[in-house]
Amino acid sequence: MLHNLTEFLAHCGITALSLWLASFLFHGISFTSKKSLILSAILLGIANAVIRPIVIILTIPLTLITFGLFLLVINALMMLLVSALVPGFRVSGFWTAFFASIVVTIISLLVGSLFFEYDSNLINVPAHQGVMV
């Protein structure tokens, strides 16, 4: 369980770094303090883990019609939700959140790939052991 907490905190740190970098790229994103940046990263991680899957399930038809592009809208909405909940975190509008969420995702994936080892096999099939019948 401690491993899961450590991994979650590491992901929150990477998200905080990504949000901080996005605030330099987009003038519509700002943080008033380090506390608001860290709280935003934690809440964004929780929103992506809890709320986002529910929204994805509810919008499956729309996601299929748009060939998955609606997932970008969902990411922007998660960022806007977090900005509404965290005092000191400001996102100026939907389009800023839309493009910033793309940048945050790309930076998080790049930095995360340096620190975490992702298994390309979704299903691990154990090697056959024993005598074949």
What confidence tens digit (pLDDT) does each residue in 63-81 have? 999 999 999 999 999 999 9
105/1 Cα distance (integer angstroms): 26
One-letter amino acid at 116 equals: F
pLDDT for the residue 5:
83
Report field, pTM of the whole predicted structure over 0.85: no
- Give the residue, 132 or 81, on which the prediction is more confident: 81
Contact 104, 80 (CB under 8 A): no
- Return the structure tokens found at 77: 């909405």
Across the chain, mean pLDDT equals: 87
Can you name the residues that pair with 89 across neighbouring β-strands? Answer: 31
